[in-house]
Structures are given as C-alpha cells and as structure tokens.
Amino acid sequence: MMDHESSKSGFERKKRAVQFFEGEKWLVLTGLLGVLLAVLSAAWVLLYGGAVPPNGNVTNAISFDAALGIFLISTAAIVPFSAMGAKGRVFFRWSYILLALYSYFAETVQNFRGVNPRFVKGDSTFDLTVGSIFAFVALLLILSYLFLAIHYFRRKAYMLRPNLVIGIRYAMIAIICSFAAGIWISVNQGRIVGLHGNIIWLHGLGFHAIQAVPIVAWLSERSLLTTKSQSRLIHLTGTAYLLGLIGIGWQTYLGHSIIEWSLLPLFVSGCFLFSLGMGALVLHKTAIGLTFRK
C-alpha cells in the first residue's frame, strides 16, 4: 500500500513539474536558426531580388526556413508532455536537429546557387546528390515525427495533462495530413493540381494546428470552465480544424481553388471560423477567470 501511494505521489510530482520547452534548449535554438536564416534571406531579397538563375529562388528559402524554424520551436514546447523516456527524447531531439540542419543547408544554399533542391534540373553530380539526400531527409523527418506523435496517444502522456494532450492529439493528426500533402507535392512534381488547386494550403495549414489547437487547450485549463466543458471545447475545436483540412484536401484534389465562391470553400471557411470562435470563447473565459481570481 505504501509503495502504491509513493508511486502515485511521485507521478503527481512529475505531473506538476512538467513545463513547456523543458529540456529542449537545443531544439529551440535550431528553430531560431531557421528564423534567422529566413530573416537574412528576406534582407537579400529586398536588396537583390529573389530569382537566382537558372532555377533558384531565395523567396522559397525564406518560407521554408521560417516555417521549419517555427515548427521546431512549437514542437520543442510540447515535447515534454509526450511522456517519452530520456533515451527516446534524446533520439528524437538530435535526429530532428541533424535532419533540420541539413534541410536548412539544402534549401538555403541551393537556392542561392540557382538550384531548386527539390526538383533538380541538370547533370551536376553535387546538385543531384544534395537533392537525393534532401528527399531522403524529408522522409526521415516524417518518420521521426511519427515516433513522437505515437507517444501522445498513450495513457502515460494523457495522465500528465489530459486536456492539453487531447489538443496535442488533434494537432498530431493535422500534422500527419500536412506530411501527406508534402508527399503529394513530391509525387505530383509540384504544388499545382488541375487548373487552380494548390496543395501548399493543405501542407501549411496542417502544420499550424500545432499552435492553434494546443493553445486553445492550454487556455481552457486556465478558465473557470469545468473539466468536462474544457474537454468538449477542445474536441469541437480540433474536429472543426480537421474537417477544414479535409475540405481543403478534397477541393485541391478536384483541381479547384480554395478561395472560389462555391459550397466546399464556404464549408472550409466555416470550419476554421468555428475553430477561431472557440479560441475567442476560451480566451474570454480565461480572462474572466483571471479577473475573478484577483
């Protein structure tokens, strides 16, 4: 009985001790490096323009480095709630850092050299090698992230911060959709589908779920809502976000723009507006809760 109580109290101490970004300094710094590279690339574009003959475009490096950097920082924030063991976290952290560093190199250096690192044209051995490795690295980034994502669907993670982890679960599903969209771009040899479909919307908005849904979950924990109401609100937010992504994916598959005036884009807009509304609601409830506590 004493051993059980000791184990339980130890888990409760761990539950209270877990903090955002805990132990992930190097992952954060790697993310900040991407943001810095994006800023430097943007300065270059302002001074000299983005196009670099024959096939490079520095503006691509700006968007890629910034997106990957922000994604790494956001991931670093939630890794402590995965309940991974120390060895698992070390494996994920350093594998992702090394893969990200190569991705920064390939995207930034090659575009400055006038080479599209994803779709290499020409017979340069160096460029072909960098492009081939880049494709393999992209696959490893997906597999490594799936290794992390699985942990959030285990009871051990759920017990640390139930409602926050529910939000993270929805984010993980959305991110998997983004990875699938990235594979779609590669197979399609570009982001355009049909006349007006653009896969990049699905690819980008899926990744932003890592900020959107967990933030709603985190705010709900600080509101005066009951635990059941918090959970319901998080489920509604996450479900609406995922339905919006599914709508974007289907509209893109049909080869249509997501900003045209038709039923599916309106449905997608409604889903994301609903998610935004849930965020505004929980922010309002949190503000009331803070005022009440004072």
Q: What is the pLDDT of residues 222-237, one digit of tens each?
A: 888 888 999 999 999 9
Instruction: Write down the pLDDT at residue 293.
Output: 59
**For residue 123, what pLDDT is reported?**
74
In terms of pLDDT, which residue wins out, 20 or 294?
20
CA pair distance 232, 236, nearest whole angstrom = 6
Q: Is the pTM of this model over 0.85?
A: yes
Write out pLDDT tens, residues 66-92.
999 999 999 999 999 999 999 999 999
Residue 2, pLDDT score: 39
CA distance 132 to 120: 9
pLDDT at 118 over 50: yes
Helices (H), strands (E): how many in the chain?
A: 11, 4
Q: What is the pLDDT of residue 11?
A: 42
Model confidence over 266-291: pLDDT tens digits?
A: 999 999 999 999 999 999 888 876 66
Q: What are phi and psi of 116, to 5 degrees?
A: -80, 110
Residue pair 84/15 in contact (Cβ under 8 Å)? The answer is no
Residue 130 pLDDT > 80: yes
Identify the CA nearest to 231 among candidates 157, 156, 164.
164
